[in-house]
């Protein structure tokens, strides 16, 4: 029997990046807010400190900061005809947990999607006609434009202190920045990070081929910075323990370093950790949420009434929460009826390796999570897709984040997988190898989707989320084409020098959950201007239950070429603005269906 | 840098520099080790003597000794694996363990009920019988090329060793061998950080800010472990770097970074 608690103005499901941002905006508007976080409370001191944090086995291999798959995982299959089975240990993607969420262990790559991404369907049809879209492709427009989001991207970057070089300020191209970016209102808050050696070699090779390299925008900071909230960040030390780790230096933008202490100091905010939300409760008409039911760390069940419900968990968990709560109609890939769970997409990641001779010292351990140099020449619709037969693109770059040797010990193709020759090759190549990333978009298709598993349950007895996914043919073609482009740059990096070689492999199906690729899982609660093909409106408000807002990469109708966090942050600020300026004054649908 | 930590640093640097490339057990380890067949072995908590004999012999073929760097056994990889299997990881930490159990596709990954400890126990029992049946002796007594041939058959899934597919056991053994070889020494492997020295990974340092833009830097420094924080050394900026001709000098006297380690 659940204990009923006093009603609050708003409840946050998850206190990660989105929860912290929304909590701050709502308390500032005078609301009384409760944040429910399933994991532990964590602070830079003492939780993230060295030397314990520099432990590859604990944090990277054994996933010390991640969702515990023993209690809560997903089931997976490549296609509907198979039986989904549980991901018994996370590997392909690694959802985070705990206060601060995945923004504690992220790398800090902070991009803006392009206007051509937000209007993907319209743009492709205008430029190429319907033929380029295969019959299964379900790419959509987002219901927002880059101009709509610009102020919110700007605000988010200044919250984080992102280090980068603008390519386009108010329509004026800026030397050294990304020439393909949409107009931004001002430069990044801090200048680009130092450029590591491998990145510099990539830059020179890319320039020699006529491309337009620029420093990757990074929320590991190039210099000390005080953000508009008054939070002070410090300079990144290039320690090489960033992604999958928390930052000991106050140099990576995460809720703990940019905002959370301010929120925790506000009397209108209450944080409750070790609280697992079971469902959002609805009124009898199922048009309004009345609050949530959760279980605390001791196993006691509570009902927390709230007038406003902010769903700000990891993308996959956002989708599951709506399905468990019966908000919106679940998507059926056969009939294409229903919307919750549709347009699940991922990221099509591949790479090339550049094996130098021993005169080139890459020193791979001297890296930050987001340092590096990239090109946008093949991002989004920045190149002519007409003759190519696919939509979407990729950024290509040298953006290595570490040289931790359990994970990183590259050997050239043809090396025996173990034994003396393997050991000698590892010793020979470890410090003389550079890796290029091809960070590809992911198109939504009819058959890739999320729903509830009929068999497997979590530790609270609730159905696991079921993922049905394989790489669409469109994306396999894209990866083949762009991995070849990366290979060409890699060849330019080695020149004609003897004792050097290049290896590259495009992404191919079937998608497997056994190998780490990326944690950029997107879609399932997608946004749009048309309620028949989206779960939330362009302000991220549920079409079905107007006091539920769902915020995260689960809003993406398909995934773009860039890392998602910048866009999640911009969407979150835009939703917060709509709630504070419009919804609170007149609760109800912000967009008429 | 204050005098105390500088002296500690110099001592550590000298001690590490004096170690030969191929390492032998040091006195401290020898004092706690028992001797089997002329070679020292750690005190095992999980493996029985037959299992330990296989693990020691097999990992030594996966990463054999030579002048390039340490072997698996010289790095105490068997001790690392034993500790992992006897602890939380072995008993299924973070492993989703609810049925029903079904054989899946390769894409769906591991789908057996075994914890890592159970998987090793089952597979090693099967391997002992399988090797005896084939060769009428134990794996550790076989010639190195015969051992390699057997490991390759395990790797290819060609041996029948009970309920665990042989390729799955091989994959688990290889993954844990790498972890023990390259993980921090606090977990019982990577003895004397010799595997880190072999590749040039400096370990748990926290700061390369002054070095990252000194391109093509030849950087040599004794690596450092999590276990050395008591010396107040982790936050030191790396020193002793040298540059090839034509590059900016890397000279930088060590300074303490981070108040918590200042004495």
Average pLDDT value for chain B: 80
Evaluate if residue A20 carries a pLDDT over 90. yes
What residue of B is the nearest CA neighbor of A468? B108
**Which residue's entry shows tokens 């750690």?**
B42
Chain A residues with CB under 8 Å of B223 CB are none
**Which residue's entry shows tokens 């803006």?**
A112
* Catalytic site positions of A: 520
**Among residues of chain B, what percentage have pLDDT more than 90?**
68
3-state DSSP call for residue B244? Answer: coil
CB-CB: which of B92, B100, B179 is closest to A57? B179
For A380-419, write each residue's pLDDT tens digit.
999 999 999 999 999 999 999 999 999 999 999 999 999 9
* Torsion on CA atoms A550, A554, A560, A564, rounded to nearest 10: 70
CB under 8 Å to B3, separation ≥6 — which residues? none
CB-CB: which of B102, B179, B208 is closest to A366? B208
Evaluate if residue B33 carries a pLDDT over 80. no
A238:B208 CB<8 A? yes
Cα separation values, B93 from A62, A69, A71, A460, Å: 9, 9, 10, 18
Chain A residues with CB under 8 Å of B201 CB are 365, 403-405, 430
Q: What band does A223 get if pLDDT is binned at 50, 70 and 90?
A: very high
Instruction: Name the nearest CA neighbour of A558 among A86, A19, A141.
Output: A141
- Residue B125: exposure state from Cβ atoms within 10 A (0-12, 13-18, ≥19): middle
CA atoms within 13 A on the CB side of B258: 24
Cα-Cα-Cα-Cα dihedral sign, residues A260, A262, A266, A268 = negative
Chain A residues with CB under 8 Å of B234 CB are 50-51, 54
Q: What band does B229 get if pLDDT is binned at 50, 70 and 90?
A: low
For residues A65-93, average pLDDT: 98
For β-strands A394-398 and A501-505, DSSP reports them as unpaired
What is the number of other CB atoms lying within 10 angstroms of the CB of residue B101? 12
**Among residues of chain B, what percentage have pLDDT more than 70?**
71
User: Could you give the angle at which helices A565-578 and A146-160 cross, rounded to 10 degrees?
Assistant: 110
For residues A57-66, average pLDDT: 98
Q: What band does B39 get if pLDDT is binned at 50, 70 and 90?
A: low
- Strand (E) or helix (H) holding B179: helix B166-182
Average pLDDT value for chain A: 97
CB under 8 Å to A590, separation ≥6 — which residues? A537, A539, A541, A546, A578, A582, A583
Q: Tokens for A169? A: 């300020």
For A578-593, write each residue's pLDDT tens digit.
999 999 999 999 999 7
- Shortest Cα–Cα distance, B36 to chain A (Å): 24
Q: How many CB pairs under 8 A join A and B?
A: 193
The end-to-end CA distance of chain A, in Å, is 38
Q: Tokens for B42? A: 């750690």
**Among residues of chain A, what percentage have pLDDT more than 90?**
98
Evaluate if residue A355 carries a pLDDT over 90. yes
What is the number of other CB atoms lying within 10 angstroms of the CB of residue A172? 9
For A295-345, write each residue's pLDDT tens digit.
999 999 999 999 999 999 999 999 999 999 999 999 999 999 999 999 999
- Shortest Cα–Cα distance, A445 to chain B (Å): 19
Are the C-beta atoms of residues A551 and A22 closer than 8 Å to each other?
Answer: yes
Cite the DSSP H helix spans in A2-67. 17-28, 44-47
- Shortest Cα–Cα distance, A488 to chain B (Å): 23
Are the C-beta atoms of residues A86 and A92 closer than 8 Å to each other?
Answer: no
- Shortest Cα–Cα distance, B26 to chain A (Å): 23
Evaluate if residue B241 carries a pLDDT over 60. no
Evaluate if residue A38 carries a pLDDT over 50. yes
CB under 8 Å to B18, separation ≥6 — which residues? none
A77:B235 CB<8 A? no
What pLDDT, on the 0 to 100 scale, is given for residue B41?
A: 80
What is the number of other CB atoms lying within 10 angstroms of the CB of residue B213? 17
Chain A residues with CB under 8 Å of B67 CB are none
Q: Tokens for A170? A: 């108010």
A365:B148 CB<8 A? no
Chain B residues with CB under 8 Å of A249 CB are 206, 258
Evaluate if residue A63 carries a pLDDT over 90. yes
B196:A405 CB<8 A? yes
Evaluate if residue B37 carries a pLDDT over 90. no
Are the C-beta atoms of residues B199 and A426 closer than 8 Å to each other?
Answer: yes
For β-strands A74-77 and A433-440, DSSP reports them as unpaired
Q: In what order do the strands lie in the sheet with A214-215?
A: A214-215, A373-375, A394-398, A433-440, A348-355, A501-505
- Residue A507: exposure state from Cβ atoms within 10 A (0-12, 13-18, ≥19): buried
CB-CB: which of B201, B207, B215 is closest to A405? B201
For A85-122, write each residue's pLDDT tens digit.
999 999 999 999 999 999 999 999 999 999 999 999 99
Which residue of A65, A88, A357 to mutate against B (max B Cβ within 10 Å)? Answer: A88
ipTM greater than 0.85, yes or no?
yes
Q: Which of the 8 DSSP states describes residue B240?
A: -
B206:A196 CB<8 A? no
State the SS3 of A40-92.
CCCCHHHHCCCCCCCCHHHHHHCCCCECCCCCCCEEEECCCCCCCEECCCCCC
Are the C-beta atoms of residues A370 and A399 closer than 8 Å to each other?
Answer: yes
For A429-442, write each residue's pLDDT tens digit.
999 999 999 999 99
- ∠ CA B171-B177-B180 to the nearest 5 degrees? 145
CB-CB: which of A49, A406, A424 is closest to B179? A406
Which residue of A362, A363, A470 to mutate against B (max B Cβ within 10 Å)? Answer: A363
B179:A61 CB<8 A? yes
Chain B residues with CB under 8 Å of A238 CB are 207-209, 211-212
Q: What band does A134 get if pLDDT is binned at 50, 70 and 90?
A: confident
CB-CB: which of A77, A361, A405 is closest to B199? A405
CB-CB: which of A62, A85, A420 is closest to B108? A85
- Shortest Cα–Cα distance, A512 to chain B (Å): 4
Instruction: Name the nearest CA neighbour of A482 among A490, A493, A494, A471.
Output: A490
Separation of alpha carbons A564 and A206, rounded Å: 24
Evaluate if residue B19 carries a pLDDT over 70. no
What residue of A is the nearest CA neighbor of B183? A57
A406:B182 CB<8 A? yes
A85:B98 CB<8 A? no
What pLDDT, on the 0 to 100 scale, is given for residue A593?
A: 76
A512:B179 CB<8 A? no
**Which residue's entry shows tokens 């379900």?**
A138
What pLDDT, on the 0 to 100 scale, is given for residue B42?
A: 87
For residues B5-11, average pLDDT: 36
- Better pLDDT: B261 or B126: B126
A61:B110 CB<8 A? no
For A233-281, write each residue's pLDDT tens digit.
999 999 999 999 999 999 999 999 999 999 999 999 999 999 999 999 9
Q: Does a cis peptide bond (omega within 30 degrees of 0) precede residue A510?
A: yes
Q: Tokens for A539? A: 């302000």
B94:A62 CB<8 A? yes
Evaluate if residue A175 carries a pLDDT over 50. yes
Instruction: Name the nearest CA neighbour of A214 among A370, A374, A371.
Output: A374
pTM of the predicted model, to two decimals?
0.92
What pLDDT, on the 0 to 100 scale, is given for residue A50?
A: 87
C-beta contacts of B104-108 below 8 A and 24+ residues apart: B104/A83, B104/A85, B105/A77, B105/A78, B105/A82, B105/A510, B106/A512, B106/A514, B107/A76, B107/A78, B107/A510, B107/A511, B107/A512, B107/A513, B107/A514, B108/A76, B108/A77, B108/A85, B108/A512, B108/A513
Separation of alpha carbons A80 and A334, rounded Å: 10
CB-CB: which of B93, B96, B209 is closest to A88? B96
Separation of alpha carbons A450 and A342, rounded Å: 7
Which residue of B58, B63, B75, B109 to mutate against A (max A Cβ within 10 Å)? Answer: B109
Cα separation values, A165 from A5, A152, A198, A214, A381, Å: 49, 18, 19, 8, 22
3-state DSSP call for residue A28? Answer: helix
For residues A512-525, average pLDDT: 97
B216:A197 CB<8 A? yes
Q: Tokens for A479? A: 């990866």
For B107-116, write each residue's pLDDT tens digit.
999 999 999 9
B226:A78 CB<8 A? no
Separation of alpha carbons A342 and A523, rounded Å: 7
Q: Tokens for B127? A: 């391997």
Separation of alpha carbons A384 and B12, rounded Å: 59
Chain A residues with CB under 8 Å of B218 CB are 361
């Amino acid at each position: 029997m659940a204990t009923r608690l006093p009603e609050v103005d708003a409840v946050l499901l998850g206190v990660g990046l989105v929860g912290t941002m929304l909590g701050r905006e709502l308390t500032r508007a005078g609301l009384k807010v409760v944040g429910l976080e399933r994991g532990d409370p964590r602070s830079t001191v003492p939780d993230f400190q060295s030397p314990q944090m520099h432990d590859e086995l604990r944090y990277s291999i054994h996933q010390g900061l991640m969702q515990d798959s023993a209690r809560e995982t997903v089931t997976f299959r490549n296609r509907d005809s198979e039986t989904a089975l549980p991901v018994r240990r996370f590997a392909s993607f690694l959802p985070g947990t705990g206060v601060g969420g995945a923004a504690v262990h992220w790398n800090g790559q902070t991009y803006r999607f392009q206007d051509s991404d937000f209007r993907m369907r319209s743009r492709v049809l205008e430029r190429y006609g319907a033929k380029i879209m295969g019959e299964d492709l379900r790419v959509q427009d987002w219901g927002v434009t880059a101009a709509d989001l610009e102020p919110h991207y700007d605000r988010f970057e200044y919250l984080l202190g992102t280090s980068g070089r603008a390519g386009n300020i108010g329509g004026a191209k800026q030397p050294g920045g990304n020439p393909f970016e949409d107009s931004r209102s001002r430069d990044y808050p801090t200048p680009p990070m130092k450029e590591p050696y491998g990145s510099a070699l990539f830059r020179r090779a890319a320039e020699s081929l006529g491309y337009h390299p620029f420093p990757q925008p990074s929320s590991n900071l190039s210099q000390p910075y005080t953000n508009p909230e008054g939070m002070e960040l410090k300079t990144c030390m290039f320690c090489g323990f960033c992604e999958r780790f928390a930052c000991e230096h106050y140099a990576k933008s995460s809720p703990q370093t940019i905002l959370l202490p301010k929120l925790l100091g506000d009397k209108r905010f209450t944080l409750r950790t070790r609280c697992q939300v079971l469902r959002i409760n609805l009124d009898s008409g199922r048009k309004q949420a009345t609050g949530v039911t959760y279980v605390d760390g001791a196993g006691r069940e509570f009902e927390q009434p709230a007038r406003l419900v902010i769903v700000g968990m990891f993308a996959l968990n956002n989708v599951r929460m709506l399905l468990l709560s019966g908000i919106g109609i679940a998507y059926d890939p056969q009939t294409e009826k229903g919307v919750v769970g549709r347009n699940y997409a991922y990221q099509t990641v591949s790479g090339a390796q550049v094996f130098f001779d021993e005169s080139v010292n890459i020193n791979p351990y001297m890296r930050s999570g987001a340092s590096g140099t990239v090109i946008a020449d093949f991002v989004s619709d920045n190149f002519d897709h007409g003759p190519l037969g696919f939509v979407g693109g990729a950024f290509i770059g040298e953006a290595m984040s570490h040289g931790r040797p359990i994970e990183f010990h590259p050997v050239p193709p043809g090396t025996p997988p173990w034994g003396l020759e393997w050991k000698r090759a590892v010793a020979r190549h470890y410090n003389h190898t550079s890796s290029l990333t091809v960070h590809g978009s992911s198109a939504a298709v009819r058959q890739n989707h999320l729903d509830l598993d009929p068999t497997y349950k979590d530790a609270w007895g609730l159905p696991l989320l079921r993922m049905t996914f394989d790489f669409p043919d469109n994306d396999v073609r894209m990866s083949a084409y762009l991995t070849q482009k990366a290979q060409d740059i890699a060849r330019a990096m080695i020149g004609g020098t003897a004792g050097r070689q290049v290896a590259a492999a495009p992404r191919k199906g079937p998608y497997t959950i056994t190998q780490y690729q990326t944690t950029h899982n997107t879609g399932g609660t997608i946004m749009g201007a048309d309620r028949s093909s989206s779960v939330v409106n362009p302000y991220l408000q549920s079409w079905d239950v107007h006091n539920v807002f769902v915020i995260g990469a689960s809003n993406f109708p398909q995934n773009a070429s860039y890392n998602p966090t910048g866009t999640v942050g911009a969407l979150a600020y835009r939703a917060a603005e709509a709630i504070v300026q419009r919804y609170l004054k007149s609760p109800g649908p912000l967009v008429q269906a | 840098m204050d005098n105390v930590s500088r002296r500690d640093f110099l001592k550590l640097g000298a001690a590490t520099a004096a170690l030969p490339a191929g390492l032998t057990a040091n006195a401290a380890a020898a004092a706690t080790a028992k001797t089997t067949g002329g070679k020292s072995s750690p005190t095992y908590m999980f493996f029985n003597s037959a299992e330990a004999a296989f693990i020691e012999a097999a990992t030594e073929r996966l990463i054999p000794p030579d002048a390039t760097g340490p072997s698996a056994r010289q790095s105490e990889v068997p001790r690392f694996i034993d500790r992992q299997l006897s602890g939380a990881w072995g008993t299924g930490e973070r492993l989703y363990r609810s049925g029903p159990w079904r054989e899946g596709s390769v894409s769906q990954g591991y789908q057996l009920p075994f914890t890592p400890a159970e998987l090793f126990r089952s597979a090693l029992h099967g391997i002992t019988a399988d090797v005896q049946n084939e060769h009428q002796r134990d794996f550790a007594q076989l010639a190195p090329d015969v051992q390699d041939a057997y490991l390759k058959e395990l790797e290819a899934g060609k041996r029948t060793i009970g309920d665990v597919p042989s390729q799955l056991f091989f994959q688990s053994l290889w993954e844990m061998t790498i972890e023990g070889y390259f993980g921090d020494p606090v977990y019982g492997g990577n003895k004397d950080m010799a595997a880190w020295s072999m590749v040039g990974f400096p370990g748990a340092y926290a700061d390369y800010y002054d070095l990252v833009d000194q391109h093509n830097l030849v950087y040599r420094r004794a690596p450092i472990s999590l276990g050395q924080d008591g010396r107040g050394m982790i936050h030191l900026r790396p020193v002793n770097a040298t540059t090839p001709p034509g590059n900016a000098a890397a000279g930088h006297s060590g300074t303490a970074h981070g108040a918590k380690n200042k004495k």
